[in-house]
Chains A and B, each alone.
Chain A
Amino acid sequence: MTREQFISNVESTQEALRRFLAALCCGDSQLADDVAQEAYLKAYIACGNFRKIESFKSWIFRIAFNVFIDLRRSARAFVNYDELREAPASEAADSHFRYQELYAALTQLPAKERTSVLLYYMEGYSVKEIAEIVESSQEAVRQHLARGRNHLRGMLSNSEKE
């Protein structure tokens, strides 16, 4: 893949990737940007050997997911549920507040479940494609989705009652 091809692929995928990562990072768009930047740079370093241009989007999502997991392992700058609840009003507060319950519900999901749910509902990926991105079996992804759905249902119906 040439530099120009890479840039055009970045331009066509960056919005979806950043949106997915923002949801994965529970609304922390700065952290999402950092993960996206690192993922694109890793892809750029390795893109000389990448041939399947048509599957660039899945490839970059897989890299971004791995970067996110690495970042989580290093346990830096990660928003938790309590922080989210006690977050003071900021410039982006309106949109953040709008999705606060959803973010809070997503924060409770383990990384793989959250990723599977987001890829399935936000990006419209199939179970097979998600399995490739998160490097799990299709059966495992189905289980992640079922658990994630139950989790979300429980959390969101509780918040509706409140």
Chain B
Amino acid sequence: MDDDKIRDLFRTFQPELTSECGFLSRLEDKMKAIDMVKRQIADMRRRNRIAVAVAAVSGFVVGVVLTLLMPMILDWSTTVNLSVPRLGIPEVNVDMHVVCWTLMAAVCVLTVYGSYELTVAGLSRKAESVAYGSRR
């Protein structure tokens, strides 16, 4: 059998195929499912970006406010320190600056984390209500 015979063999070769409509509609359904997942991933990324921006802004604002209030906080802490009654415990020399800055950093971190979580939760709830509303 030479090359031409093989060529002829394949020229008349028509394997049985399933229905074209069935194939295309099955593919279309799967593509719709992929589109939905793609949309959800894009929404999730968008929500995440917004939440990061909100968290960064709120952390920055709280940091600035606390830094501006630092002299007042230090005054207040010295007053508190003076007004604490002596209980016979040997006095420990604590640098109030270090304590205040540490507390401020902790408050900033908590604010950032809290605002991120709140924003994500809020946006997710909103997205769910929109989806639920559109489904109805």
Contacts and interface: CB of A to CB of B under 8 A. Distances in A.
Interface of A: 3, 10-11, 14-15, 18-19, 22-23, 27, 29-30, 32-33, 36-37, 40-41, 44-45, 92, 95-96, 99, 102, 118, 121-122, 149, 152-153, 156-157, 160
Given A18-B17, A19-B15, A156-B9, 19 more contacts: A10-B24, A11-B24, A15-B20, A22-B15, A22-B17, A23-B13, A32-B17, A33-B18, A37-B23, A37-B30, A40-B27, A41-B34, A44-B34, A95-B14, A99-B13, A99-B15, A102-B13, A121-B10, A157-B1
A51 to B, nearest CB: 19
Contacts of B20: 14-15
A92 B18 CA distance: 10
A18 B10 contact: no
Given A10-B24, A157-B1, A121 B17 contact: no
Q: Is the interface of A mostly helix, strand, loop or mixed?
A: helix
A160 B5 CA distance: 13
B6 interface: yes
Tell me the dominant secondary structure on chain B's binding face. Answer: helix
B91 interface: no
Contacts, number: 71
Given A152-B6, A153-B6, A156-B1, A29 B30 contact: no
Contacts of B95: none
B16 A95 contact: yes
Contacts of A18: 17-18, 23
Size class of the contact patch on chain B: 20 to 34
B7 interface: yes
29 contacts: A3-B31, A3-B35, A10-B24, A11-B24, A14-B20, A15-B17, A18-B23, A19-B14, A19-B17, A22-B15, A22-B17, A27-B15, A29-B16, A29-B17, A32-B17, A33-B18, A33-B23, A37-B26, A37-B30, A40-B27, A95-B15, A95-B16, A118-B10, A121-B6, A122-B10, A149-B3, A152-B1, A153-B6, A156-B9
